[in-house]
């Protein structure tokens, strides 16, 4: 029996609305994965304008299965031009028929057909909305970007994060990045089984380059999972100790290293005793630099959550400082573009630790760099 991709997408979307789980962890592993991901991520990415438009077609806002199916259906009609109208309607209605409520398919069919008839009107409605609604971002996040970059560049940043993420392969030894053609599975690329590459955006190179590891040099990756930067350091010849306190993430890290045949990397669950000439803190952060890949993260962002993350980052940096050998280097990095997590975090660290000085600081702003948002700072122990 053929699996209905819209049904799977609607289930994932409905579950995300309630639990806020990572949608990526719910995607199927079969041939439907790419299309289901496109359906789910488009609906999540365009949540605010879709909510605005669907409100024109329903008198009382639905919940549960019907709500999710309407979002998935409307996402196809308004934001997925490669999907034919008949397919968007027929397949989404078919997905609704797999449920137990006989009224749901009727409502889905009526709303989607009306939406198609009034599509130009709805596009005009979206275009007339405020920028944060039109571009589908939390108002507080959008306004802080306007304050930092100006309105024009803030919209450029929104446009970047609203485009589907491209897949890049970083090839051993990590100094070459190659964009993967759409529709090509990573597992089908020659060299996958041999561990010749990893999936990683070029924005990650900032931190790795600032580490400046030498062959045979000991390096500690203090927040290592899922392991992309660990791999890059190992490829450059460093003797890496990869620390990850979360057991599930640590297991994933170990699996990735095994596929890449990097048996020499030591994986530990607690920060080791002793010091290292090079220490990397790729800190947990708000992910505002990678919202293109993590569209759900925009809806979990808040000033309060970011303040909590800033406190955690400071604690990790203090732990890391004690692991840096005399004359050594600590590299702090995030996939955020928020100053509190980046430049301001570094300034506060230097105030607490006058034995360090900042020797370099780099930031990737997506609309300027053409790759994921990222930040990295190299902090050296003062001789």
Spatial CB neighbours of 181, under 8 Å, sequence gap ≥ 6: none
3-state SS assignment for residue 30: coil
DSSP letters for 127-180? HTS-HHHHTT--HHHHHHHHHHH-HHHHHHHHHHHHSPPPPEEEETTTTEEEEP
- pLDDT, tens digit (0-9, with 9 covering 90-100), for 87-115: 999 999 999 999 999 999 999 999 999 99
pLDDT for position 39: 98
- Residue 358 known to be catalytic: no
* pTM of the entire predicted model: 0.95
**Is-cis flag, bond preceding 172, omega within 30?**
no
Structure-token pair, residue 129: 């909305």
Catalytic residue among 158, 223, 243, 335: 335
Q: What is the mean pLDDT of the chain?
A: 96
Within a 10 A sphere around the Cβ of 299, how many other Cβ atoms? 19
- Percent of residues, the chain, with pLDDT higher than 70: 99
- Report whether 331 contacts 324 (CB < 8 A): no
3-state SS assignment for residue 243: strand
Helices 247-259 and 228-235, axial angle in degrees (round to 10): 40
> Does the structure show a pLDDT above 60 at 314?
yes
Could you tell me which residues are beta bridge partners of residue 332?
A: 281, 377
For residue 186, give the DSSP letter: G
pLDDT for position 174: 86
pLDDT for position 175: 87
Could you tell me which residues are beta bridge partners of residue 177?
A: 170
- pLDDT, tens digit (0-9, with 9 covering 90-100), for 226-283: 999 999 999 999 999 999 999 999 999 999 999 899 999 999 999 999 999 999 999 9
- Report whether 213 contacts 238 (CB < 8 A): yes
C-alpha span between 108 and 113 (Å, rounded): 8
3-state SS assignment for residue 330: strand
- Percent of residues, the chain, with pLDDT higher than 90: 96
- pLDDT tier for residue 383 given thresholds of 50, 70 and 90: confident
pLDDT for position 183: 84
> Topology of 168-381 in CATH?
Rossmann fold (3.40.50)
C-alpha span between 314 and 318 (Å, rounded): 6
Within a 10 A sphere around the Cβ of 203, how many other Cβ atoms? 25
Class for domain 5-129, per CATH?
Answer: mainly alpha
Spatial CB neighbours of 317, under 8 Å, sequence gap ≥ 6: 281, 283, 330, 332, 345, 349
- pLDDT, tens digit (0-9, with 9 covering 90-100), for 11-54: 999 999 999 999 999 999 988 999 999 999 999 999 999 999 99
pLDDT for position 182: 87
Domain ranges of the chain: 5-129, 168-381
Average pLDDT over residues 290-299: 97
């Amino acid at each position: 029996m053929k699996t209905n991709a819209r049904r799977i997408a609607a289930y994932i979307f409905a579950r995300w609305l309630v639990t806020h789980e990572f949608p990526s962890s719910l995607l199927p592993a079969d041939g439907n994965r790419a299309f289901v991901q496109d359906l789910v991520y488009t609906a999540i990415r365009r949540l605010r304008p879709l909510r605005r438009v669907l409100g024109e077609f329903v008198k009382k806002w639905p919940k549960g299965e019907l709500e999710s199916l309407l979002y998935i259906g409307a996402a196809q009609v308004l934001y997925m031009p490669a999907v034919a109208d008949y397919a968007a309607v027929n397949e989404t209605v078919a997905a609704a028929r797999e449920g137990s409520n006989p009224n749901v398919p009727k409502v889905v069919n009526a709303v989607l057909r009306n939406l198609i008839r009034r599509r130009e009107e709805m596009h005009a409605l979206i275009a007339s909305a405020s920028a944060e609604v039109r571009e589908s971002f939390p108002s507080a996040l959008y306004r802080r970007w306007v304050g930092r970059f100006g309105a024009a560049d803030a919209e450029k940043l929104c446009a970047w994060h609203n485009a589907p993420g491209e897949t890049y392969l970083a090839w051993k030894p990590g100094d070459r990045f190659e964009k993967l053609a759409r529709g090509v599975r990573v597992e089908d690329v020659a060299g996958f089984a041999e561990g010749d590459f990893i999936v990683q955006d070029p924005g990650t190179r900032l931190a790795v380059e600032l580490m400046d590891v030498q062959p045979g040099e000991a390096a500690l990756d203090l927040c290592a999972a899922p392991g992309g930067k660990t791999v890059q350091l190992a490829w450059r010849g460093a003797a890496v100790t990869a620390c990850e306190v979360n057991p599930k993430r640590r297991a994933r890290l170990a699996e990735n290293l095994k596929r890449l045949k990097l048996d020499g990397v030591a994986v530990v669950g607690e920060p080791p005793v002793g010091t290292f000439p090079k220490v990397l803190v790729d800190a947990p952060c708000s992910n505002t630099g990678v919202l293109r890949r993590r569209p759900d993260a925009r809806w979990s962002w808040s000033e309060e959550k970011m303040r909590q993350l800033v406190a955690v980052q400071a604690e990790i940096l203090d732990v890391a400082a004690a692991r840096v050998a005399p004359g050594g280097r600590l590299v702090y990095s995030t996939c955020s573009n928020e100053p509190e997590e980046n430049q301001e975090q570094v300034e506060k660290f230097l105030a607490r630790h006058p034995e360090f000085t900042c020797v370099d600081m780099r930031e990737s702003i997506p609309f300027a760099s053409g790759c994921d948002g990222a930040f990295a700072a190299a902090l050296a122990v003062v001789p």
